[in-house]
Chains A and B, each alone.
Chain A
Amino acid sequence: MTGSDGVLPASLSDIREEFLALEQKDRLLLLLEFSNDLPALPERLRGHEDELERVEECQAPVFIDVAVDGDAVTLAATAPREAPTTRGFASILVQGLTGLRPDEVLAVPSDFPQMLGLTEAVSPLRLRGMSGMLSRIKRQVASKTAA
């Protein structure tokens, strides 16, 4: 994991530290906190959820919106309350990536979901949903900065 540390932005590395400082059981509760704190969709996107990109890797209907405004990436996501784990993953990425520069987002290691110490508490299978979200976000950032 050390090789990836160099490119982990401070916001994500803070989140990672928060998780790793906790016992397994409490990591799950921290994920629940993130889940509860998923920011609501901004006004302009409400009612247009279907036009956002669906994250197929997730069990639950999760939609993401990626905007690049000059030097800053802004993320929004929506996921149902009945899927708190997925909501938690989305919330980590929305809170951890929003405000970063596009090149910083693109440099986030794709195994970031595996760095949170959640493999045991959540299972590797479930973490794939978060990997799917991250790769879709990066793909959108790449296409939006290339255009």
Chain B
Amino acid sequence: MAVAPDTAAQFSEYAHPERLVTTEWLAEHLGEPGLVVVESDEDVLLYETGHIPGSVKVDWHTELNDPVTRDYIDGAAFAALLSGKGISRDSTVVIYGDKSNWWAAYALWVFTLFGHEDVRLLDGGRAKWQAEGRPFTTDATDIVPADYPVVERDDTTVRAFREDVLAHLGSPLIDVRSPEEYSGERTTAPAYPEEGALRAGHIPTAQNVPWAKAAAEDGTFKPREDLEAIYRRDAGIGEDEPVIAYCRIGERSSHTWFVLTHLLGQENVRNYDGSWTEWGSAVRVPIVTGTEPGGV
């Protein structure tokens, strides 16, 4: 059973305002039947230091990724994972996390691969909840296991693979990494661990729009007008064009995927999760260095 959406005025301009909730809304709805709050962070221990009361943790790396193959878990594993977290197919899931919801957006995108319908982000994430002095607890959440069905993952709608990107060259491609990674000065974000790509640079024709441009100081999403300026006016993405976003392993680009899909209402946006750690090590794929997008 879905929980009523947040009708906060600041979301009304977005294409799909029901994909966001405010901290006020969440505080009022905590504990409501049908709502499951999920924390998903970059830091695997942050949840344990204190989390929103009643929330459960989903770790992107140890739980959403297949432990052997570089891929996401399959339908059976996803069903087992969500059942164990007390999430049903019709649960309203609100995800929040650290770093302006960067990893929360990644988790939301993976939930989308399995067609989980009602999944939302807490605007501003963990930092905003904390800044407002709202409660955290280290108490373990009492989970009533649910019975999540086995749903086959859909890899065709919001996910792109290397061959899709090759076929897409010439259509809008967004590189959401830092300018240094884009130009080829380095292969990882400044101050981020080396994740192993053999070449530096970007995919030809990709525009560099660092993901954080879509986030305000307090980690909330910028107003629609600002987002239109960033993605439509400056990056030149037409409303009907198919778009592929990528970064280093597909996490930062999930944030951009969320913005384009749910806040701007772009219809055909895919996230290339292989991203630079695949492209930058693949044999004979074209690469451009420097600050210009380059041609096909």
Contact = CB atoms under 8 A, between A and B. Distances in A.
Given A82-B98, A121-B62, A35 B191 contact: no
Contacts of A35: 45, 49
A108 B43 CA distance: 26
Interface string A102-143: 000000000000000000111101101100100000000000
B164 interface: no
A57 B44 contact: no
Nearest to B195: A125
B193 A85 contact: no
Nearest to A87: B45
B42 A59 contact: yes
Interface stretch (A14-22, A25-33, A39-47, A69-77): A25-33
B46 interface: yes
Interface in A47-102: 54, 56-61, 81-86, 88
B192 A85 contact: no
Contacts of A85: 43-46
Q: Counting chain A CB atoms within 10 Å of each CB, which of B42, B43, B194, B195 scores highest? A: B43
B134 interface: no
Contact of A28 (B45, B61, B191, B195): B45
A85 B98 CA distance: 13
A125 to B, nearest CB: 7
Interface residues of B, number: 16
A60 B46 CA distance: 12
B45 A123 contact: no
Contacts of B194: 57, 128
B62 A123 contact: yes
A138 to B, nearest CB: 18
B48 interface: yes
B193 A28 contact: no
B185 to A, nearest CB: 14
B43 A57 contact: no
A18 to B, nearest CB: 17
A132 B46 CA distance: 21
Given A121-B62, A123-B62, A126-B61, A88 B45 contact: yes
A126 B195 CA distance: 10
Interface of B: 42-46, 48-49, 61-62, 67, 98, 191-195
The 5 A-B pairs with the shortest beta carbon distances in the complex, nearest first, are A84-B45, A123-B61, A128-B193, A85-B45, A85-B43
Interface of A: 28-29, 31-32, 35, 54, 56-61, 81-86, 88, 120-123, 125-126, 128-129, 132
28 contacts: A28-B44, A28-B48, A29-B48, A31-B45, A32-B48, A32-B49, A35-B49, A54-B191, A56-B191, A57-B193, A59-B43, A59-B193, A82-B98, A83-B43, A83-B46, A84-B43, A84-B48, A84-B49, A85-B43, A85-B45, A85-B46, A86-B43, A88-B45, A120-B67, A121-B44, A121-B62, A125-B61, A125-B193
